Structure 1
């Protein structure tokens, strides 16, 4: 029987796995995906996350690649208006790079992510948890941590509601593209009088930009599915810079506004962390970082349970600490997102409104 089984190998699950392995716990990490992704996704580490990674021994490799100083170049109706440096102690770096550093650290501790493992059932008793996989395998563990994202299978199997609201229409299309000829010294943010926009952020250690844009619409005003061709049309319409082609789209997706928190973060010997427990607007870049903080707190809780007498008092400490934080972060990011939507209608204002 393993000490802790972790479902999900994103930043939250990998942080938890490294934390526990460093404490001497026996850990397994499973993921339903067939292998690692190569998508920028969450791209900003806050100082609190860097402190966690310093303790885990991965901060150095991340700061060697990431960028601590970011300049927002703002345009309005096609004209360059203002440059705004953002120096807040954080680090700009792609999520796939963060996950890669954590996987490498975890491998050095003797643990490999087990891909292609889809969780289909959870049973538990006073002795431990039995996790059933789609191929019929059963993994026995003393505890299970669901770090498997906003569509968490762990949360679904436990029957824990994710309470709040979701906007059905996508708020943005997102992706990773190349844009030869566009300066990589700035996070370019083009906004228009009607509140639409497109942003291209140069991802450190790559030749790509992360694209975020208001969705393209059809003749009836309905949002179109994102596509590389759609990215180009949006760029030409909003950036109004001739001669630049967006190419090599390696990630094409949509983003919807979710403001939701799990009703609880513990069910017996099973815990939720990261997006499995809370999803919220991206303003302020708090999503991935809140999950990393969850992992640090859950690592402390599980280490105490594994090395001491355990019991509900010890296990309840995690939810008591993190559920109020999750609720506040969700409410806070919703307010930040509204500030950004209002700010970008003013020439010279951009996503920095979400940091204020």
Structure 2
């Protein structure tokens, strides 16, 4: 017999699982996050938060902490033989700012992954959510109504749905027999470590290019905003066994830079990996969903993995909430894979392109231009469209002195009525009226989904009631 029953079990307390837990908690969904480890992940790995994810984190109620405990990216500094050769821009700032029109955020923000997780964890607890650590999933069974999850120790848990957010080696995905299709982005292994260093300023991202003969790989040392740590990244020839110890990291830094071994005073966390790109063949099997790295694995170049993962959670959260409340048909859950798998495939291509130097960090990496125009949830009823279309991300801005994202914030739907009379709508829809056109939208009616995308758009209310009824909005 199972000892507990919840609405949703989320496997993995990384950024994906915690973000989903927050979104479900604020919707009154009884969700349990379970984590194999005894605590949160301790490393900096995914340190870049893109503008679109900043918008998501604002809606989830953690933006103030993210801003206070992070910082902007430093300018790159190229070194050779102990001398500074000149600055290197890590991303095209002009292109990023141009692509960020209609957003309050126009540059990536740096927060070490461990700190992002601490912030999300605190918010989840604030909302009454919970994480059980030391809970290793060893199997599960599902039937027409529930999923029963088994652990290495402790009681089983039954849930209406199970979400795998347990990383690239996902136990849940493997148990489902869902394959991953992809490629090795680079056969050369990479060391990444959080270290304490004497003798380097914190104003620059220090880059030490590889030697001309190829015998010594590159080294990059980035000050981690809001901490005393640096993230050290070094590439090695294929087949190298990487020493993750303090002495090993010291040897690498001394061999590739002007630093002496003693300048590396502490290794706080270290790992090695081989960059790859892979996409799960399916994001769902019955009552089980895949999200984050369990569904797509990226090269870290370009900072797309964590961001795509958090946005998976943001897409799935409102849909699970609506179905579990009984206000939406179960078929709504089919749109999670329909919408997110193509986005993940697109972002995998960008990550790989950035890693190989084929795509620059700029408009393609901020994720503000992503949308769901081809989704079955999208209805564009206007014959002529020159501004925002149904399926697009709803831009921020102001309307008669009100910030639009303030109106969007929360688990509800929002109707923008711009120069058009708004019809009567269910209580679950917040109406924001403007007598004239708005800069980003023009005129018309725009029904904005809980995850900030325009679901329905029209010049008049015709068809809106049918859309609302189909999705069970109330």
- TM-score of the two chains, using structure 1 as the length reference: 0.90
1:53-78 CA-to-partner distances (Å, cap 9, x unmatched) read 10111011110111124211122455
1:206–1:334 Cα change, 3 Å: same
309, 329, 354: which one aligns with 1:291: 309
2:285: which partner in 1? 267
Q: CA deviation at 1:185?
A: 0.9
Say if 2:111 and 2:225, in contact at 8 Å, map to a contact too.
yes
Name the CA distance, whole Å, in 1 between partners of 2:231 and 2:86.
21
Say if 1:8 and 1:149, in contact at 8 Å, map to a contact too.
yes
1:186: which partner in 2? 204
Q: Does 1:57 align with 2:61?
A: yes
Equivalent position SS for 2:344 = helix
Larger radius of gyration: 2
Name the CA distance, whole Å, in 2 between partners of 1:168 and 1:203.
25
Which 5+ residue runs of structure 2 have no aligned equivalent?
97-106, 367-474
1:240–1:327 Cα change, 3 Å: same
1:120–1:30 Cα change, 3 Å: same
1:242–1:118 Cα change, 3 Å: closer
Equivalent position SS for 1:50 = helix
Name the CA distance, whole Å, in 2 between partners of 1:294 and 1:247.
38
Equivalent position SS for 2:158 = strand
Q: CA deviation at 1:134?
A: 1.2
Say if 2:280 and 2:296, in contact at 8 Å, map to a contact too.
yes
72, 93, 96: which one aligns with 2:111: 93
Say if 2:162 and 2:289, in contact at 8 Å, map to a contact too.
yes
Q: Which has the higher helix share?
A: 1
Q: CA deviation at 1:124?
A: 1.1
1:290–1:4 Cα change, 3 Å: same
Say if 2:304 and 2:365, in contact at 8 Å, map to a contact too.
no
2:150: which partner in 1? 132
Higher RCO (CA 8 Å, separation ≥ 6 residues): 1
Equivalent position SS for 1:290 = helix
Name the CA distance, whole Å, in 1 between partners of 2:175 and 2:329.
23
Say if 2:323 and 2:330, in contact at 8 Å, map to a contact too.
no
Question: Number of residue pairs matched?
Answer: 345
Which 5+ residue runs of structure 1 have no aligned equivalent?
344-350
2:37: which partner in 1? 33
2:46: which partner in 1? 42
Q: CA deviation at 1:126?
A: 1.7
1:346: which partner in 2? none
Name the CA distance, whole Å, in 2 between partners of 1:264 and 1:280.
17
Worse-matched range after superposition: 115-124 or 159-168: 159-168
- What pairs up with 1:1-356 in 2 under 5 angstroms? 1-76=5-80, 78-85=82-89, 86=91, 87=93, 88=96, 89-135=107-153, 137-166=155-184, 170-192=188-210, 193-194=212-213, 196-215=217-236, 222-242=240-260, 245-308=263-326, 313-339=331-357
Q: CA deviation at 1:23?
A: 1.1
Say if 2:243 and 2:249, in contact at 8 Å, map to a contact too.
no
Name the CA distance, whole Å, in 1 between partners of 2:200 and 2:363.
24
